[in-house]
Each structure stands twice: as structure tokens, then as C-alpha cells.
Amino acid sequence: MLDPRLLRADPHGCAERLATRGYRLDVERLAALEERRKALQTRTQELQNERNRNAKSIGRAKAEGRDLAPLLAQVEGLGAELKAVEAELGAVLAELEALQLTIPNLPHASVPVGPDAGANREVRRWGEPPRFEFEARDHVDLGARLGGMDFEAAARISGARFVVLRGVLARLQRALTQFMLDLHTRSHGYTEVYVPYLVNATSLRGTGQLPKFEEDLFAVRGDAGLYLIPTAEVPVTNLARERIFEPGDLPLRYVCHTPCFRSEAGAYGKDTRGMIRQHQFEKVELVQVVAPEESYAALEALTDHAEAVLQALELPYRTVALCTGDLGFAAAKTYDLEVWFPAQGTYREISSCSNFEAFQARRLQARWRNPATGKPEPVHTLNGSGLAVGRTLAALLENHQQADGAVRIPAALRPYLGGLDRIGPPA
RNA sequence: GGAGAGAUGGCCGAGCUGGUCGAAGGCGCUCCCCUGCUAAGGGAGUAUGGGGCUAAACACUCCAUCGAGGGUUCGAAUCCCUCUCUCUCCGCCA
């Protein structure tokens, strides 16, 4: 949610900045609603004030034993009028809120302006794409040869876009997860958290998945109104909801491993092969809650933390600053990390690191007491994948494959696999 | 799953035979005074969100909030209904 005061004070400025990300802000509609809101709210409060004063004078009169009839006659009709105005105000506020909840965040000034992914700006590259003396296999082939990556079994059990891992590949996924958690907790100052995988609608509204992106979510049957988490971002960021932090409490740095569930409605036909786009995948997520003036330094640091995983795993990647048109709904600025996939001969997203500024914090009512003003003000929130484990597994298989179909295990990961330095097809 | 109890400000805790209660009292915290150190004592202040006013802020003022939502009433922390959560006992269970 944008700052309602800013939206009121400078709607055209907001509209201009939102236009760079392809969102058209209906300034007239907003102004009309705002005008009605102001009139109705003022009127409501006047009537409430009148009611309160009347009630008090009746109370006094009763205490003094005076006749209440004339006073009661005086307030007749006031209640009905108040009720009517309140109802109208409620409707306008609901409409205003519904509109505000669907307005995306303002892009930061440093975000390159452009209509789509084509305008994204590469900021750096790390590592050399491997050159093979043979035809590079993709992770699906490699997985099949190694044994233990079974899409057919998953389809039988659940349907398309699931995978069953067995044996060394299941262990490899677990090893990757452990490695990432250890790196972030030991070297990057994050605290590991364990959180619910089912969350309520309020939590999803807080981080921005609702109301706009309900079709991407799996809702759980029954009347509890719960959803499967699409990312750990939701429960972890909601740790800050309805809280007021003291300056000394910040920054909060959390790392969390969870499965993620995405319905990916409408995405069928794209990236259908392999573990790249699944309904269920593992992810290690980094979340930070920081004082506003720290947030852009925190974004750089958080991105470095995610990059450190790729470097330790010796996976070539590039870092891309998303342009205004490619930015996610809630983000003010985003760096995507794209890892090299040899079989496709291209870089593909494996992490997305974003600063949401106060956009989520305002929806969450996540605040800190700014020592400069002494008042509660929204914090800034950030998150990034550190990393998506399924895609990391796929990238690792593909980048470290050998001519014989075996896969080299990078040194950093070996302690998590009992010292194994390669995994090969069963003898 | 069954039975019962409860949810009040940063914390504890009164109020709950409806009226001057946004809420006693205590603790904590902040500021001031006093005290030649530490201790003790006196005074003032100390919730959150929103509206109006303002170029903005301060100040001022109004509204809302006593778990959430609805209802009764001129008036609800107090009465009624629904929901959520917490605690105790029993059962079940990884």
C-alpha cells in the first residue's frame, strides 16, 4: 500500500511513477472518492460528537434527578441520521481501500525504466559458463541417469508439476538446504526460524499476495480460510505484523527453509520440463526488517548473501536489476540472480531479492519508533531467495556434469554429503 | 474431541448492579526538583490509528479503539449474539 497521504497530496506524481511500471492510476476516480470520503467522514464525526455530548448531558441530568423527557426528545432522529451517514462512509472507505490495495509500489529512482524484461539491466556476472566436450544434458536427463528423479511417479501421485526424488538426489536436495541455512546463520548473521506453512488471508494481504493474486495460491478446503504458503516470505515477514520495534531491535534478519506451493494458474505450457517450475518446491528464504534509511544498503547486503551461495557452489550467474515494467507488485527495487543452465544455453532466475520499502509494512502495521520523531513509523522490509533449492539442484547437476553422466560435487557441499566428491549412475 | 475459566494501556491489575471511564492503583519508562557519592524522597508526563486545521510540522481540536465482528440503548469496557485466541482438567495422538 502506498502512503495514503502521498497519494492524496500528489496523485499526479504517483501516477507518473506508476506509469513507468505499466500501471494506470485512475486519478479522477481517486479524487472523487477522496472528496466523498472527506465530506462523509467529517459529517460522521460531527454527528458522533453531538451524540456523545447529548449522552453526557442526559447522564448528568439523570444523576441530578431532572426530567429526561425534553432531552430525549431533542436527540430523536439523530441516531438514524448517524447510522445512514456511517453506512455511506463505510461503503466509500471500502471502495477506497479496495482501490488502494491494488495499486502497486512506486519504483525506486535507481530502477531502470522499461516496459518488460528486455529492459532489465545486468549489473554483474560471476563465473564462466562451463564448456563441455560433449552434448550437455539437462537436469531431467541427468536425473534419470543418476536414478531417483521421477516425474512419472509424481504425476501418478499428484499430477503434473511435481517430482519425486530418491536416494542420492533426495539427499543432495537436503544437503543443499542444510548448506544454505548454515551459511546464512553462521556467516551472514541470520536467525533461523520455523514457521507455519498454512497462513490466513490477513497474512497474505500483509505481504501483498492478496487480494490481487489469489489465483496463484492453493486455498485449503474447510472454513478455516487458510492457504498454503507460496513462499516463506509470507509467514516470516508477518512476524513483524502489528508490532512496534524499538530502534535497538532492528535490523531483524531471518532465514527460513520451507516448501513453497504455487498453483501457477495460466502458466501451463511454459517451462513445463523438469524441476524449474513446480507446484511444490523447497526454498531457503532471507527476510530483513530494517529502519528505513538502512534499507538500500540492506538490499545490497542481502543480494550478496544470496550470491555467496552460488559462488560457494561454483555456479556461474549474473545479477540483473529489474526494470520498472518487470518489477513485482510490492517491490520498489529488485535484483534477480540468474544462474547458468548449460542445456538451455541461458541464464534463468534462481533468486529474487527485493526491497519493499514501507509498502508491506504499511499493510502489516509493522512499525518502529523513530528516535528522531519519537513516533511509530513503518519499517522497511526486504526478502530474497537464498536460494530456490529445486532450481539449485537442477543447476548443480547441469553445470557440474561429466562426460560419463556423473556429477561433480563442489567442495563446499561435500561435508553435507559425507565427503562425497561426485555422484554417478548406479553401477 | 468433551467440560470449565478467561482476553482491559509497555507489564501487572481494578472496573463488568450501563452515564463525567481512554479507563483506578501498582510496576516500568521519560523529564524536573530535592539530596555533597550509591540509596531514598517529591512533582509532572507516559497507548494506537484516523479526521479537521497547516505549505509542512508543532500546537490545538474531534472521532475510533478495553480480543474481533454484529446487536440492544439517548448512552456499552460493562447487557445480548457470533467468531477468534489463551489457560485448566479429561480423552486421543507424532
Query: Can you tell me the ipTM of this complex?
Result: 0.85
Residues A229-287 have pLDDT tens digits of 999 999 999 999 988 888 888 899 999 999 999 997 665 565 668 999 999 999 999 99
Of all nucleotides, the one whose C1′ comes closest to residue A54's CA is: B74
Across residues A384-405, what is the average pLDDT? Answer: 96
Model confidence over A103-161: pLDDT tens digits?
999 999 999 999 999 999 999 999 999 999 999 999 999 999 999 999 999 999 999 99
Q: A32 to each of A26, A27, A29, A37, A90, how far by Cα in Å?
A: 10, 9, 5, 9, 15
Measure Cα distances from A48 to A55, A58, A62, A68, A73 in Å: 10, 15, 21, 20, 17
**pLDDT on residue A275:** 92
Q: Residue A272's pLDDT is what?
A: 67
| Residues A49, A78 contacting (CB under 8 angstroms) | no
Chain A, 217-256: which CBs lie within 7 Å of strand B? 244
The rounded mean pLDDT for chain A is 92
pTM of the model: 0.93
pLDDT in tens, A304-317: 999 999 999 999 99
**pLDDT at position A22, please?**
95
In this prediction, residue A70 has a pLDDT band, given cuts at 50, 70 and 90, of: confident
pLDDT of residue A64: 82
Question: pLDDT of A15-32, one tens digit each?
Answer: 999 999 999 999 999 999
The residue written with cell numbers 529512482 in the block is A109
Q: Which segments of A272-370 does DSSP mark as H helices, in order?
A: 295-312, 359-364
Strand B contacted by A52 CB (< 7 A): yes
SS3 of A303, please? Answer: helix
DSSP string for A354-373: EE-TTHHHHHHTEEEEETTT
Cell 477522496 belongs to which residue? A34
Rounded to 10 degrees, the C-alpha dihedral A348/A420/A285/A298 comes to: -80
Closest residue by C-alpha to C1' distance, nucleotide B48: A376
Chain B positions with a protein C-beta closer than 7 Å: 19-20, 48-52, 56-58, 62-64, 74-75
Which nucleotide is nearest to A367 if distance is taken from CA to C1'? Answer: B48
DSSP 8-state class, residue A90: H
Active site residues of A: 262, 277, 349, 352, 391
Return the pLDDT at A268: 59
A56 CA to B15 C1', in Å? 19
A384 has which bridge partners?
Answer: A286, A353
Are the C-beta atoms of A211 and A205 separated by less than 8 Å?
yes
Protein residue with the closest CA to the C1' atom of nucleotide B64: A45
pLDDT score at A269 = 60
Whose CA is closest to A351, among A379, A311, A397, A293? A311
Which pLDDT value is given to residue A266? 63
Rounded CA separation A73/A81 (Å)? 15
Q: What is the DSSP string of A152-211?
A: HHHHHHT-SS--EE-HHHHHHHHHHHHHHHHHHHHHS-PEE----SEEEHHHHHHHT-TT
pLDDT per residue over A192-228, tens digit each? 999 999 999 999 999 999 888 988 999 988 777 889 9
Question: Which positions 249-308 on chain A have a beta carbon less than 7 angstroms from any atom of strand B?
Answer: none
A375 touches strand B (CB under 7 A): yes
Q: Is the pLDDT of residue A336 over 90?
A: yes
Q: Distance, angstroms, CA A243 to C1' B44?
A: 29
What are the CA-CA distances from residue A26 to residues A9, A211, A295, A362 (Å)? Answer: 15, 18, 30, 21
Q: How far apart are CA A278 and CA A276, in angstroms?
A: 6
Mean pLDDT for A88-116 is: 93
Q: Look at residue A425 in the predicted model and tell me its pLDDT.
A: 85
CA A184 – CA A178 distance, rounded (Å): 10
> Does residue A117 lie within 7 Å of nucleic acid chain B, judged by its CB?
no
* Rounded distance in angstroms from the CA atom of residue A365 to the C1' atom of nucleotide B7: 22
- Look at residue A65 in the predicted model and tell me its pLDDT: 80
Model pLDDT, residue A74:
81
